[in-house]
Structures are given as structure tokens and as C-alpha cells.
Structure 1
Amino acid sequence: MLSPPEHSPSPCPRRVHAPWALYLFLSLVLLWSPSGAATSALNCHKTCICASNIVSCSKMNLSMVPTGLPLYTAVLDLSYNDIARLKADWTPVKLAKLHNLLLSHNGLHFLSSEAFIYVKQLRYLDLSSNQLKQLDEFIFEPLGQLEVLLLYNNRISQIDRSAFHGLHSLQKLYLSQNMISRFPLELVRDRTRLEKLSLMDVSSNRIKVPPIEEIQALPAWIKNGLYFHNNPLICDCTLYSLLAHWHIRRLNSALDFKDEYTCYLPGPQKATVGVFDLNEEYMNCSTFYEEDEEAWLEQNLILRCDTRHRDMSKTWVTPGNSVVTEGGNQTAKLLPDGSLLISRVKPEDSGTYTCFAVSEALNETLYVLVKVHNFTENGGGETLNTAYTTLVGCLASVILVLIYLYLTPCRCFCCPRKNQDADSIHSSMLSAAPSQEDLSDKMDPRHVAFISPKELGERQNGKVNPGVRGEMIEEARPPGKGRRKKSVAESVSSVFSDTPIVV
């Protein structure tokens, strides 16, 4: 058996020193690796208080975020410290389980554009009561799962229109008690709004003229959580109508803070009054009434069940008390969003439609009154022309009647003698029946008696004149007949005869 050479190295030292070299190498890796630092640097007994996955470093006089945060941290409370700047490297490792981050009351005035790239799982972020002055573009873009963002009680005066871009899951945004003068309409307006945003508080800012028409067009479940009280609003009747409508619908934004919606009256005094008082002694704004839906024949009409809460189960009932069902043979059809489509409306579609909305927390009933005009939308002009023509005809008739009543030809007060003769002829139509003596006298057709105009002057408005009751009337009679006494009453009756009296 051959022995190994004398100068050949022994294999034993290799087996002995290799494990020590590997151990030394692994130690250096752990020492310099970020994960190793994260698990060993934080002192949970002196710097912060650790309770399971909650790390509370509140009121520790910290000027920067402590390093070495545990990877299992789910809630990190850094409130009431002196952290003035939140840099990009405040956490050098990804905190994949962190969902609550509290940084309120720190005097924070700087946010890095990359401050949240390692905490993308955040659902709750509190940056309230700091010194932030502006929100730059895309600053919150990494936080796609954020649900609540608190920014109240800062000094924010500028908000980039893309600052909240990427917050697809945001539900509540608090921006009150800042210096904002522009209403952030892009957050709630169609096509640009955050789809899940149900509460936006911009109260106690510097907004003077909010976009009333755009706000009024928003769904009720957004307006229910839209707060803009305690702003220096300018008094206007459209502002009153908006909030009065919200109060009638019992929306929380108007119901809970009714007394805190104030505005400045126009004028040099700039007096402050309550918005809900504008319909009384100040601006005499019209009382708000719920608007009705109007439609024309053959038009397609959509009725919306505008509920205070989102995603409620909705049921429609027609004016005939029939429930609208999916797949039914009715002209009304349910749409996926809970609205009601009435195709090719007819006059019998008029009436009150009822929407019953139900959820786990709320039951709501809405009424929509539909008025269907008895003509098509394009035919409205012809109907208007016909109505206009009828109106003109009525006015012309009234004018002709007035002319006939007040502008007739001159009567007896203008031409007394001529008209008196005419009146005597017309008045003879009302002559009384003759007596027996008169009938015997009238048998001789040779003598005709006429009443002189003088006798007409002795009558008063067709009445018997008592002063001439016994006066003798001379008539053309043959000799021997003598005179006949005729009362004034008979003379008066003869005035209303169209034919001469034969005596």
C-alpha cells in the first residue's frame, strides 16, 4: 500500500476550514442585506411599541422614520412627531403587508414623488394636520388599493388635476380646512371621476362659486357624500335650489350641516346669511319643487332611480300598479343599472312611476311623475302656430266687440230732432192695445193723427210725465167731432208704434 507523498497537502484542513469560510460569507451577506437590517435594527422596547403586526411610534420625538421596520408590519403609527420630509428612501424595503400608515401632526411639508412605491398595498393613509401646501402630479399613483385618504387641516392651495390619478379604489377623500379655491370637479364628474368615491369633503376652504349645474347632474349617491359647507359662497338662487333639493331628498351632506351652509349677499356690506333663508326675506328665491319628466309621442324615455346609496336592489311599479319584470311583454324595460326604459311612449304612459330601492342598511322609495305630450317633438311647432293663430283670432274678436260697444254712430244727444223722430217711429212698436173708442175712430181712413215732436220733449225716459197728464191733443178731425182728451200714457205708448194711427 503506497503512502501519500510527503509534500502533498492533507485533505483534512480543507474539510475543517470550508464551513468557517461559508459561515463568514453568510454573516456578511446578512449584515449588508436590507432584510437583515429590517429584522434587527428596530428596537421594539425603546423606539416604538410593537404589538403583533402593529408598530406604534407615536409621540417619540422622531425626526425621521425609524429604519429596520419588520416586514410583517400591517399598521404603522408615526403621528405626533417631527418628521418634516417623507423621502423616497424612508423605507428601503417593500412593506407588502402594510395597509395603514398614520403620519398626522408631524409638520410634514414635503412628499417625495416616490414616497409610496414600496407600500403599494396601503388602504388607509392619514396625512392630516401637517404643513402640506400642494399636491403634485401622480403623487398618489402607486396606491391603487387605497380606500381612505385624509388630507384635512393642511395648507393645501394647489392640487394638480392628476394628483389623484391611479386611486381606483378610493372611497373617501377628506380635504377640509385647507386653502383650496377651485372645486375639484374632475374627481366626481363623469368619465374622469373616481368610480368608487362616495365621500368628498371640501368644507372650510376658500371656494366662492361652485359649479352648480355640474354638481346638480351628479348621481344622488355622490351628492349624498359631497360636503362643501363653511366656504365663502356667493349667495345665488341656484345655490339655494341645489341645497333645498338635497334637503328634500334628505341627503346627508345637506341634512347634517344645514346651519353651516352660509353665503355672502351681493353688495358692499357682504353680510353673511344662511343659504336656506334665501327664499324668505333676503333674495326671495322660489321654493324648490321636484321636477317632473316630460316626453313626446314615440320618444324613448329613461327614468332613473336616483338613490342615496349605491348598488341598491331596485323594483319599478307602473301607474297601473303593475310590477315591471325582466323579460316581460310590457313597453317598460329594466336596464342593468336599475333605470327604467319606456320605448315609444304613448299618452297612456303618463302617470306616477314608483321605484322601491332596498339594501341592507336602507329602504328608499322614489316617485317619478311622467307627462306625455299629445304630439311628437318635431310636431310641436305646428301646434304652436295653431295656438298662436287661435289667440290672434280671439284678440281680434275682443277688439271688434269693444269697437261696437263704445264707437257706435252718434245718438240723440248729437242730433236731437232727427233722432227724436226716429226714436218715435221705433218706439211705436211697443204701443199698447187701443181702446173701444179708438177702434171706432179708426174706422174712418180719411184722418191720420201724428204726434208732434214737442210731446216727446215732455217725456222722461219712457215714463209718464205727470205734469201733462190731462192735456188736450188736437187732431185733424171733420167738423162736428169736437175734441178728445188723451192721456200722456197713451201718447207715450203711441211713440213705440212703427205705423200711423188711423182715427
Structure 2
Amino acid sequence: MCLCGDTSQALNLHHQSHKLTLRTINIVSCSKMNLTMVPSDLPNYTAVLDVSFNEITGLRAQWTKHKLPNLHNLLLSHNGLSFISSEAFIFVKQLRYLDLSSNTLRQLDEFIFEPLVHLEVLLLYNNQISQIDRTAFTGLTSLQKLYLSQNQVSRFPLELVKDKNRLEKLSLLDLSSNRIKVLPIQDLQALPAWIKNGLYFHNNTLICDCELYSLMAHWYIRRLNSAVDFKDDHTCVHPGPDKRVLRLYDLNVHMNCSTFKETDQEAYLEQTLTLSCDTRHRNMSKTWMLPGNIVVPLGDNQSIVVLKDGSLEIKSIRPEDSGVYTCFGVSEYLNETLYVVVKVHNFTLSGNGETLNTAYTTLVGCLASVVLVLIYLYMTPCRCFCCPDQGKKNQHEDSIHSSMLSATPTHEDMATKAELNRHVAFIDPKDLQGQNGKVNPNGEEEVDEEAMQGKGKRKKSVADSISSVFSDTPIVV
């Protein structure tokens, strides 16, 4: 039994009228003693056991003969430890600090730490861990800090920080200097800031991309410890064939990633909007200030109230609620100020849809009108000037033109119609050069034979001049 380092002492303190106080410190230190196994016959008052820097290669189930109800610190670092029994911690359930760092552990089996319901700090860094069972950390309901750096972990253990299996009190997870290539970026973005503040994954083999850059740029703007403390150690591997290692925060230069910008909160009329005060520390005292530096009034009957988790709820939001909202987070160690920009659209969410439907209907109506005009222009019956007996039909052509532009009633007598149609006259073709109509290329007037027989001279219509009906040329009356 190793009790050479036993420092059990009783310190009796007496101060004036105060009662006698007894304080016991129970530390057993067997560090650097070339031990090959943990001493089994330890006093039951042992509170701290240090067996680091020895040659203990395995921690079997019966390493202690009886329960150690007072043991809260166990140090086993630098031992070459490669095996831990699934029942190794049955007799030491009160542990709060366990140091297994700098050993040769390769895997963590299922439910290996389950008995340690009071454990707060677990050190596993500088091992050779490459396999972690998903249930390895089950039962660690009090765990606050988990150190897994300098191992060979290739998968980010998302279950530790997300969903129903996550460790409720975990505030620090160190996965730096491992072999992780891809992060669950969308899931990490959705985590509360107090969890992201303690997620360390620098010095991994992450593949460079702009989503990764945006994630870390956001964290850096928020001044999260995980992004700021090791800024120069955040690197990634370029996906190109040269496999260059780049500084993550320089990807906006090397890969043209856009600069990160916080997005504004948007809402529509009459909606209920909840603003989160996403502070870096957990359980901070939070107060809100409205646009115009107005402190949020207390009371549950207000349209704007602070919820139990520190979020701000705005009921039946209106355009005048737009602006910058300020949240002040206060704790024993940190004061933090957060700003949230809110934009309120001046219509309801359903009203926006009706506007889109109206615009769609208008567009369809316009297209239908265009189709009808094209049909009228290009699918009407052939004009008389393109048919046989042009002389006779030229008269009818003029009648068509006149009927379209004149309000004079139509008469059966063609001669009378010609007289009446003199109230509406077309511009002489000679004057239409450069307009929609055409003139005779020879510059000579062709005289209609039928017109020469008693109805007066009249110029013969040219086929393409039909478009003059729709010309912008003024009509002479």
C-alpha cells in the first residue's frame, strides 16, 4: 500500500467567540513511484488520489477493494493506460474530477462513464482515441468540461451538444488537434451562444469552404472565446489538388467568400415576434431596451414582455415597432450587450400573397390582350388590293378605310359613299416618305381606269399602305 504521501491532517482553528472548527484535508499522492497498478487498500477518507506519472497500463474493475465515498479527484495521467474496465468506476461514484490525459487509450466503450453522475471535469486529451461509442458519455449529467484534444477523432460528436441526448450542463468541449474534416455547420449555427462559446475545434483538417468561413466570421464578430482565443490556429485545407493549409479567416481573399453580415429580423403586421438574447454565458440576468432607449416595462399584460428565458416577445407587431432593440446581459464574470435590428413590413403575410396573385392576374390579362392584337393584325382576311380585279376592289378598300375612321353611316350607293367619305382624307402617299406607308417607286401616279370613267381621278392604293391605318401620322379632316 502506498501511503508515503498521505497528508491527512486536522486543522483546529479557534477565533474569539466562534466555535471550534475542524477541517480535514485527505490527499494521497503516489506520483512518480513506478507503480504498475493503483494501490487497492486506500483509506476510506481519501478525497484526492494522485497516481500520475507511473506505469499503470490498465484500470480493472477491482482496483479498489471497497467504496471510496469521499473520493472526488482521481489523477491517472501519464501512465501508458490503454484499457479501462466498464466497471472501473462503480466504487467511486462521487468523482467530480477525472484526469486520464496523456495515455494510450484508443477507444471509449459504451456506458463506460455511466456511474459518474457527479463528474464535472473529464480530461482525455493527448491519447490515441479514434473510436467513441455514442453512449460512452451517457449518464454524465453533471459534466461541464470535456477535453478531447490531441486525439484521432474524425467525427464531430454532435449528440453531446444537441437534441435530447446532449449533456445539459456541458459548457466546454475541446476537440482541437484531431482529424475532423467536416463540421455539421447548420446544426452548430442553431446552438445557443453559451454552448458555441466553449466549442473548440482549431487545428483540425477541416476542408475549406465559404460556409465554414461564414460560421467562424459570425462567431468572431460575437467575440466567442472559441473563435477569438485561438484565432491564428483556425486553419483549413484547400480543396484543390495542392492541399494548401490556409488561415480560415483569410478565405474571403483566397476563395472570394463574401464578408459576413448579421441579418435583420423581419416581421409582418399583426405577427408575434420573439427576439432572443443569445448571450455567451448561461443564466445571465437580462434586460431589454426598445428603440428610442425606452426600457421594457414590467408586467405580463403588456404587448411587449420579457419571457422567463430572457427573450423579448412582441405581440401584434406594427410598423412603428421597427428599429434597434438592445439586450443587456449581466453575470458575476461578464457584462454583454446585444443589438437586434427589426424590420416590420407594412402588410400582413396573407396580404402579401394576395398582392402577388393580383400581379399575376394582371400579367396574364396583358398577355391575352397582346395575343388578340396580333391575331387581329396578322390573321384577318386578305385585303382587296391583294386579290384579282384590283381596280374594282380598290374602291372597296377606300371604303374600308373610311368606315374605320369616319362616323358617317354606310350607304349602298357606291357613288354616294365616295362623296360622303370625302370628310375623311388620307395623306397623299408622296408625303408619307419615312412613315409606315409606301409610295410608288417611280414617282408617277397610277390612275384607276374606273375612276377615269366618271368618278374622278383617284390614286391607286399600294399594297403595303394598309399599315398606315395604324400609323402615328396625323389624319387631315
**TM beyond 0.5:** yes
Compared CA separation, residues 252 and 410, structure 1 to 2 (3 A): farther
Matches within 5 A, 1:409-448: 411=434
Question: What SS does the aligned partner of 1:243 have?
Answer: helix
Q: Pick one of 301, 308, 317 that aligns with 1:336.
A: 308
| Structure 1 residue 326, shift from structure 2 partner | 3.1
Q: 2:7 aligns with which of 50, 58, 77?
A: 50
**1:8 matched residue in structure 2:** none
User: How far apart, in 1, do the equivalents of 2:302 and 2:352 lie?
Assistant: 27
* Number of residue-to-residue matches in the alignment: 370
Contact kept, 8 Å, 2:180 with 2:204, in 1: the verdict is: yes
2:376 maps to what in 1? Answer: none
> Is the contact made by 1:221 and 1:306 (CA closer than 8 Å) also made in structure 2?
yes
Unaligned runs of 5+ in 2: 10-25, 374-431, 444-475
How many Å separate the matches in 2 of 1:317 and 1:310? 20
Secondary structure of residue in 1 paired with 2:349: coil
**1:208 and 2:231 are equivalent in the alignment:** no
Say whether 1:115 aligns with 2:138: no
Query: In structure 2, what is the equivalent of residue 256 of structure 1?
Result: 229
Specify the SS of the correspondent of 1:153: coil
Q: Following the alignment from structure 1 to structure 2, what is the Cα–Cα distance between the partners of residues 116 and 256?
A: 34
Measure the CA separation in 1 of the matches of 2:212 and 2:359. 36
For residue 417 of structure 1, report the CA deviation from its aligned partner. 9.5
Structure 1 residues 357 and 392, CA gap change in structure 2 (3 angstroms): farther
Question: What pairs up with 1:316-331 in 2 under 5 angstroms?
Answer: 316-327=288-299, 329-331=301-303
Task: State the match for 1:159 in structure 2.
Answer: 132
Report Cα offsets for 1:137-193 as digits up to 9, x if no partner. Answer: 111111111000000011111111111111111000000011111100001013221
Per the alignment, residue 32 of structure 1 pairs with none
* CA–CA separation in structure 2 for the residues paired with 1:231 and 1:410: 79
Partners of 2:93 and 2:118 within 8 A in 1? yes
Specify the code of the residue in structure 2 equivalent to 1:324: V
For residue 279 of structure 2, the aligned residue among 283, 299, 307 is 307
Contact 2:122/2:145, CA 8 A, preserved across alignment: yes
- Hey, what's the Cα distance between the residues in 1 that align with 2:199 and 2:366? 53
Question: Could you give the per-residue CA deviations for residues 282-325 of structure 1, whole angstroms, max 9, x where no partner exists?
Answer: 11111101111111222221110000111110001112432223
2:196 corresponds to 1:247 = no
For residues 395 and 106 of structure 1, the distance between their equivalents in structure 2, rounded to whole angstroms, comes to: 82
Distance in structure 2 (CA, Å) of the matches to 1:232 and 1:395 = 56
Counterpart in 2 of 1:297?
A: 269
2:385 aligned residue: none
Structure 1 contact 244–288 (Cα < 8 Å) conserved: yes
SS for the counterpart of 1:379 is helix
CA distance in 1, matches of 2:89, 2:436: 104
Q: Given that residues 213 and 251 in structure 2 are in contact (C-alpha distance below 8 angstroms), is that contact kept between their aligned partners in structure 1?
A: yes
Q: TM-score, normalization: structure 1?
A: 0.69
Matched to 1:102, the amino acid is L
SS at match of 1:369: strand
Aligned residue identity for 2:180: I
Q: Name the CA distance, whole Å, in 1 between partners of 2:302 and 2:435.
A: 76
Please state how far the C-alpha of 1:197 moved relative to its aligned partner.
0.5
Shift of 1:329: 4.3
* Greater Cα offset, 188-197 or 112-121: 188-197
TM-score (norm 2): 0.73
Residue 288, structure 1, aligned to residue 260, structure 2:
yes
Following superposition of structure 1 onto structure 2, how do residues 336-485 of structure 1 map, counting pairs within 5 Å? 336-387=308-359, 411=434
| CA 1:392–1:264: 2 relative to 1, 3 Å | farther
Equivalent residue of 2:295, what SS? Answer: coil
Q: Is the 8 A contact 1:324 1:330 kept in 2?
A: no
CA–CA distance in 1 between the matches of 2:355 and 2:166?
A: 43
Residue of structure 1 in register with 2:414 after alignment:
none
Alignment CA distance shift 1:54-1:394 (3 Å):
farther
Letter in 1 for 2:84: L
Matched, 1:193 2:193: no
Q: Which amino acid aligns with 1:290?
A: E
What secondary structure sits across from 1:108 in the alignment? Answer: coil
Check the 8 A contact 2:154/2:179 in 1, yes or no.
Answer: yes
Q: Against the structure 1 CA distance between its residues 395 and 364, is the aligned structure 2 distance closer, same or farther, given a 3 Å change threshold?
A: farther
Counterpart in 1 of 2:99? 126
Amino acid at match of 2:270: E
CA distance in 2, matches of 1:260, 1:43: 43
Q: Contact (CA 8 Å) 1:95, 1:119: kept in 2 or not? A: yes
- Asked if residue 87 in structure 1 is aligned to residue 56 in structure 2, the reply is no
| Structural RMSD (CA) | 2.8
- Structure 1 unaligned blocks of 5 or more: 1-41, 401-408, 421-497, 499-503
Deviations 1:374-393 (A, max 9, x none): 22223332223445677899
Given that 1:175 and 1:203 are in contact with CA atoms closer than 8 Å, whether structure 2 keeps it comes out as yes
In 1, are the aligned partners of 2:89 and 2:115 still within 8 Å (CA)?
A: yes
Q: Which runs of 4+ in 1 moved over 6 A?
A: 389-396, 412-418
What is the identity percentage for the equivalent residue pairs of Structure 1 and Structure 2? 70
**Alpha carbons of 1:82 and 1:273: their partners in 2 closer, same or farther (altered >3 Å)?**
same
CA change 1:287–1:44 in 2 (3 A) is same
Pick closer, same or farther for the CA change 1:395–1:130 going to 2, 3 Å.
farther
Q: 1:177 aligns with which of 130, 150, 158?
A: 150
Give the number of the structure whose alpha-carbon radius of gyration is greater. Answer: 1
1:234 is matched with 207
Alpha carbons of structure 1 residues 88 and 372: separation in structure 2 relative to 1, 3 Å: same
Alignment partners' CA distance in 1, 2:104 and 2:2: 29
Further displaced range: 313-322 or 179-188: 313-322
CA distance in 1, matches of 2:112, 2:240: 42
Match of 1:38 in 2: none
Alignment of 1:1-12 (within 5 A): none
The one-letter code of the counterpart of 2:121 is V
> Distance between the aligned counterparts of 2:184 and 2:96, measured in 1?
30
Q: Deviations over 1:425-473 (max 9, x none)?
A: xxxxxxxxxxxxxxxxxxxxxxxxxxxxxxxxxxxxxxxxxxxxxxxxx
Paired with 2:363 and 2:228, the residues of 1 have a C-alpha distance of 47
Shift of 1:272: 1.2
